Structure 1
Amino acid sequence: MALSCGVSLTAASGWPFPQNRNTERVKPILKEFKPTLPSTKKWSVSQKQTLAFGPTKQYPITINNDASDSAGFAEKVQTFKHIWRKEGEEPIQGLAMIDAIQRLCIDYHFQEEIDSILTRQSMLLSTIHSDNNLYEVALRFRLLRQQGYHVSAGVFDNFKDNEGRFKQKLSGDIMGLVSLYEASQLSIRGEDVLDEAGDYSYQLLRSSLTHLDNNQARLVRNSLDHPHHKSLASFTAKYYFNDEPKGWISELQELAKTECERVQSQHQHEIVEILKWWKDLGLSTELRFARDQPLKWYMWSMACLTDPSLSEQRIELTKPVSMIYIIDDIFDVHGTLDELVCFTEVINRWDIAAAEQLPDYMKICFKALNNITDEISYKIYNKHGWNPDDSLRKAWASLCRAFLVEARWFASGKLPSGEEYLKNGIVSSGVHVVLVHIFFLLGQGLSKENEELISNFPPIISSTATILRLWDDLGSAKDENQDGHDGSYVECYLRENEGSSFEDARKQVVHMISDAWKQLNQECLSPNPFSSTFSKASLNIARMVPLMYDYDVNHRLPSLEEHMKSLFYENVSVKKEEKAHDSIL
């Protein structure tokens, strides 16, 4: 198929790296013509979900320039470190302080102290005699597992009776049960004791809500709904501000409030830069069928890379994230099957000459993708001395091939098996593209071996992608407006298991998500070929997924909207109705 276009994609000379790449920005090119989109009948149309607040222009960003000065904040950090050295001598107190610091999203300021305490705790595991304190044992286990230590789940055997069941006397230990439930979220495959611990503590805590006082009930409800390991700390931090702080927690809360204002201001500046880039790119005006949600796309970057020092990486990561959504819309809502085959072939070969034969809208998209990939590669090469161009292109090719497989399935009207669907859906989730970009943008652990490993879907990526794909399918299945062209694992399961109900399928998907989490937890334990920052980014994608795909009856994403407003537009405040974890903090 050959469709003529008036846009030239001929590579320009003079770009120092990569060689023979086009250095022009997309916007000037887009201004040269007004493309006429092909009128060929579409093979399918799928109504995409959008955030209820629509395009970003409806939510103007007001930058907070009143954040505390760096020198004053650094002094506060040092003041708390001094308090920590005095108060944290007792093992349980030191662990509680680490927990509070992590929950309040300021752990990156104390990583050296956290590493030191947890290293000592891991070395003393065999000599620590606190087997009867469920809260302490479970907290130590969770913090060490989160840090990558392969602590044995056998530490919980001491809380079982002679028949192998958790002791009845634990039912009244609310703080211990909360700690046990939180610890169970870090289980890996084969750890039956943690599965039992999670079920046991969940049932007891859920039934206890009717007779607990308000403070304890809030503590329990927040832990059950948002267990720390599987939640974004930036989203749940507000629940851990105490309106009557005492002792060291008072100093820590003040520090966290100041940091929250500083980080909010930084994010607002980043958003302004992203919005300018998106406007200059021109895709929102030239590809009107595609989504226009740069704020939502930036949320992925902000969730993945939480350290304030990674500002440049967050901005750069938002660019490929946006292209995943744009290309997804091309495949799902606009392209004919013949056009999609040609587009995929161009991406496979990364063939600028062949792109001349694409429809105008696809040519525009490829032009943007080519420029973004080249610019990111150039920045990575300048900063880390490594050329990721080939790996990035291969990741995009894999994504488009997976999109095309789905297009062919649903154009033919034939559903694949559940196994086939999920294997392809892991790729089409876009997680691999995102994490490959993160790996190179971080510049940590760059080697030929790791480059090959990251390109071949290691388990740390495939497990994260499985969580996203299955969560997405659950959200789509609940949405009655979906026309079915996207397909889902739920749909495949119901077809393969005649007589099964939606609830049966939902339970199966929830079980598979739980299993994928276990694999992800395993991959984040040491030794790990990837950096801790990369591992945390993988975890954060999985943590972000429920916010991105939990649609309500009005087809909105209320949790995501709440999170965005609290991060970008609201000041930190302590609300009595949100108080929780009083006993911990």
Structure 2
Amino acid sequence: MSSKSSEAFRPFRSTSPSVWGDAFLNYDKEDLGEVEQIVEELKEHVRKDIAASLDNPKEHANLLKQIDAIQRLGISYYFEEEIANALQYVYEAYGDDWNGGSTSIWFRLLRQQGIYVSCDTFNKYKDQHGAFKETLTNDVEEMLELYEATCLRVQGEVVLDEALDFTRAHLADIAMDPVRCNSTLSAHIQETLETPLHKRVPRLEALSYIRFYEKQASHDQSLLKLAKLGFNLLQSLYKSELSQVSKWWKGIDVLKNLPYVRDRIVESYFWAFGIYSDPKYSLARVFLAKVIQMATIIDDTYDAYATYEELEIFTEAVERWSITSLDGLPKYMKFVYKVLLDLYQEMEPIMEIEEITPLFNRSKEFMIEFIKGYMVEAKWVNEGRIPTTDEHASIAFTTGGGSLLISSCYLGMGDIITSESIKWAMSEPPLFKASSTIGRLLNDIVCYKRSEEIRDLPSIVECYMKQHEMSEEEVIEFVRKQIEDVWKDINRESLVCNHIPRSLMMVVVNSARILYFIYAHKDNFSEVGEDAKNQIDSCFIHAML
């Protein structure tokens, strides 16, 4: 293909149309004033409950359970300060010697908050021979909590590695034992083993947990009502944002101007929503959704449509980043190029107001590096060679878009972006690469067959199979082990980077979570599956009753 650029040799991948059509194009604002008033009253009631529990040491175990419920119900953004203060108080009062209730919940909540508590406390669950006590298996709830706690481990925490193996094996057996658990508990255990809490997208967990929580006899009625009303208030905001991005996308008219591009604006917004769902990040969500769809345009242009010669001149034009570079580009590439420049030009004055122009400029540089990385991949494909695993790694994580997307996440988040955090983000920290690695490795596992059908860089699976003469099954198992190790790296980095606001840390953690949701089993971005479609329906269409 390197010497022929005629239309006869142009690659072309047909894409499935959007399953949403214009469902989110128009939004009629709802009058939710009465709901907002009830929410304010419920919030005040919950704040008093938290304060009362904090003042009574005998209630500290229940306090942690209450905080866990608040977080899982998706209403922690109402109580950020109260939760942070309560968990810091608990840590200062007990240190690493918590003895007030479930050690697993205590450990998980504090580590989620960025407090680096020791894992040595779990050695008390072992017998004199160093094995985990079999009596633990008598308490299924605590076994599940211990399993969830192990997912916050970092490299070198052997006791948690052992606890993971112990709980995973026993819980799998219990789930299959009709004497020990009914069908509801069995399904809950299997769902937890498949996707532990630490890997779940927070809003999707809220959607699921609200339904689970209301079935529990011990549920707090105020929390449940607040969760449902808060869910509906947020849904109204999300509909408004979806209308904004849908109108932007409608104006681009991809079917007419770029028919080879995947129309995934709703999925792009869902991706952004998975990273941060708090109402105060509305501007950031809208911009990030556009960046994700823009990256999709670039991906499809390089992998599924442009000739090699066209890609060379387009890449050179992007490096110049100027409207004067339109000359010499094919008509469709002029359109792509202008959409790209317009996207960033639209955001520039807002970034000046927020005083984060340096980060905005670095984000543009990440976009240029992202596109240059695609050119390197195109060169390898054009030469018909499979890169070594090291060569693949050297470029694949750039084209995985981690630094581009995460730096873009921070644009529009407001005054939480400090000068120190700007410097940190601009340095392309290890946490960025770790999150990007999760997405790239998962994508390579579920999509590697696709490279046989279209012009695409061979996946890491193919590279390992060729270089190390491993079978497909061996490589996939090996790569999944790598993914687990990267999760440990994410956990550690989010604990040691305590000079960065926790909200910025969680953007990166949630980025890994949404990537896990999208790519864990299939490519739910290119071809949205029924489960993913139902989740989007529930988040953006159906109110919580």
TM-score normalized with structure 1 length:
0.84
- Structure 2 unaligned segments of length 5 or more: list them: none
Give the conservation status (yes or no) of the 8 Å contact 1:184–1:197: yes
- Cross-structure match for 1:100: 69
Q: Which amino acid aligns with 2:473?
A: E
- Cross-structure match for 1:145: 111
The alignment's C-alpha RMSD in Å is 2.6
Q: Distance in 1 between matches of 2:13 and 2:485?
A: 30
Give the conservation status (yes or no) of the 8 Å contact 1:350–1:393: no
Q: Distance in 2 between matches of 1:238 and 1:441?
A: 26
Q: What secondary structure, in the 3-state scheme, does the structure 2 residue paired with 1:57 have?
A: coil
> Residues 13-412 of structure 1 correspond to what in structure 2 (within 5 A)?
39-42=6-9, 44-45=11-12, 53-54=18-19, 56-57=21-22, 65=30, 67=32, 68-87=34-53, 89=56, 90-126=59-95, 128=97, 130=99, 136-209=102-175, 210=177, 211-240=180-209, 241=211, 242-246=213-217, 249-384=220-355, 386-412=357-383
Q: Distance in 1 between matches of 2:27 and 2:418?
A: 42
After superposition, the Cα gap between the structure-2 partners of 1:558 and 1:481, relative to the gap in structure 1 and judged at 3 Å, is farther
Q: Distance in 2 between matches of 1:185 and 1:221?
A: 16
After superposition, the Cα gap between the structure-2 partners of 1:276 and 1:54, relative to the gap in structure 1 and judged at 3 Å, is same
- Cross-structure match for 1:524: 494
> Residues 433-582 of structure 1 correspond to what in structure 2 (within 5 A)?
433-444=404-415, 450-477=421-448, 482-483=453-454, 485-498=456-469, 500-549=470-519, 550-551=521-522, 556-573=528-545
After superposition, the Cα gap between the structure-2 partners of 1:234 and 1:450, relative to the gap in structure 1 and judged at 3 Å, is closer
Give the conservation status (yes or no) of the 8 Å contact 1:378–1:387: no
- Structure with more helix by fraction: 2
Q: Distance in 1 between matches of 2:48 and 2:419?
A: 43
Residue by residue over 1:330-373, the C-alpha shift from the partner in whole angstroms, topping out at 9 and shown as x without a partner, is 10111111111111111112133233111111111111111111
Give the conservation status (yes or no) of the 8 Å contact 1:142–1:186: yes
* Cα distance, 1:77 vs structure 2: 1.0
Q: Which amino acid aligns with 1:56?
A: G
* Cα distance, 1:563 vs structure 2: 1.3
More displaced stretch, 214-223 vs 61-70: 61-70
Residue by residue over 1:92-130, the C-alpha shift from the partner in whole angstroms, topping out at 9 and shown as x without a partner, is 101101111111110010111111210112113347462
Give the conservation status (yes or no) of the 8 Å contact 2:260–2:305: yes
Q: What secondary structure, in the 3-state scheme, does the structure 1 residue paired with 2:22 have?
A: helix
Q: Distance in 2 between matches of 1:338 and 1:302?
A: 37
- Cross-structure match for 1:432: 403
Q: More relative contact order in 1 or in 2 (CA 8 Å, sep 6+)?
A: 1
After superposition, the Cα gap between the structure-2 partners of 1:524 and 1:181, relative to the gap in structure 1 and judged at 3 Å, is same
Give the conservation status (yes or no) of the 8 Å contact 1:44–1:411: no
* Cα distance, 1:383 vs structure 2: 2.8
Give the conservation status (yes or no) of the 8 Å contact 1:145–1:186: yes
Give the conservation status (yes or no) of the 8 Å contact 1:87–1:93: yes
After superposition, the Cα gap between the structure-2 partners of 1:444 and 1:41, relative to the gap in structure 1 and judged at 3 Å, is farther
After superposition, the Cα gap between the structure-2 partners of 1:385 and 1:344, relative to the gap in structure 1 and judged at 3 Å, is closer
Q: Distance in 1 between matches of 2:214 and 2:157?
A: 39
After superposition, the Cα gap between the structure-2 partners of 1:282 and 1:379, relative to the gap in structure 1 and judged at 3 Å, is farther
Q: Distance in 1 between matches of 2:191 and 2:116?
A: 27
Q: Distance in 2 between matches of 1:511 and 1:330?
A: 32
* Cα distance, 1:46 vs structure 2: 5.4
After superposition, the Cα gap between the structure-2 partners of 1:263 and 1:59, relative to the gap in structure 1 and judged at 3 Å, is closer
Give the conservation status (yes or no) of the 8 Å contact 1:55–1:292: no
Q: Which amino acid aligns with 2:130?
A: G
More displaced stretch, 115-124 vs 77-86: 77-86
Q: Distance in 1 between matches of 2:268 and 2:162?
A: 38
Q: Which amino acid aligns with 2:480?
A: V
After superposition, the Cα gap between the structure-2 partners of 1:160 and 1:272, relative to the gap in structure 1 and judged at 3 Å, is same
Q: Distance in 2 between matches of 1:524 and 1:273?
A: 33
Give the conservation status (yes or no) of the 8 Å contact 1:46–1:333: yes
Residue by residue over 1:124-150, the C-alpha shift from the partner in whole angstroms, topping out at 9 and shown as x without a partner, is 33474629x6xx111100000000011
Q: Distance in 1 between matches of 2:536 and 2:392?
A: 32
Q: Which amino acid aligns with 1:293?
A: R
More displaced stretch, 449-458 vs 369-378: 449-458
Q: Distance in 2 between matches of 1:370 and 1:244?
A: 51
* Cα distance, 1:285 vs structure 2: 2.6
Q: Give me the identity figure in percent.
A: 27
Q: What secondary structure, in the 3-state scheme, does the structure 2 residue paired with 1:357 have?
A: coil
After superposition, the Cα gap between the structure-2 partners of 1:324 and 1:482, relative to the gap in structure 1 and judged at 3 Å, is same
TM-score normalized with structure 2 length:
0.90
Give the conservation status (yes or no) of the 8 Å contact 1:426–1:469: yes
- Cross-structure match for 1:29: none
Give the conservation status (yes or no) of the 8 Å contact 1:64–1:268: no
Q: Distance in 2 between matches of 1:394 and 1:61?
A: 34
Give the conservation status (yes or no) of the 8 Å contact 1:43–1:411: no
After superposition, the Cα gap between the structure-2 partners of 1:507 and 1:244, relative to the gap in structure 1 and judged at 3 Å, is closer
Q: What secondary structure, in the 3-state scheme, does the structure 2 residue paired with 1:190 have?
A: coil
* Cα distance, 1:482 vs structure 2: 4.3
Give the conservation status (yes or no) of the 8 Å contact 2:25–2:242: no
- Structure 1 unaligned segments of length 5 or more: list them: 1-37, 574-585
* Cα distance, 1:504 vs structure 2: 0.8
Q: Which amino acid aligns with 2:533?
A: E
Give the conservation status (yes or no) of the 8 Å contact 2:214–2:224: no
More displaced stretch, 66-75 vs 117-126: 66-75
Aligned residue pair count: 530
Q: Distance in 2 between matches of 1:384 and 1:395?
A: 19
Give the conservation status (yes or no) of the 8 Å contact 2:108–2:148: yes
Q: What secondary structure, in the 3-state scheme, does the structure 2 residue paired with 1:487 have?
A: coil
Give the conservation status (yes or no) of the 8 Å contact 1:347–1:396: no
* Cα distance, 1:154 vs structure 2: 0.9
After superposition, the Cα gap between the structure-2 partners of 1:283 and 1:194, relative to the gap in structure 1 and judged at 3 Å, is same
Give the conservation status (yes or no) of the 8 Å contact 1:106–1:256: yes
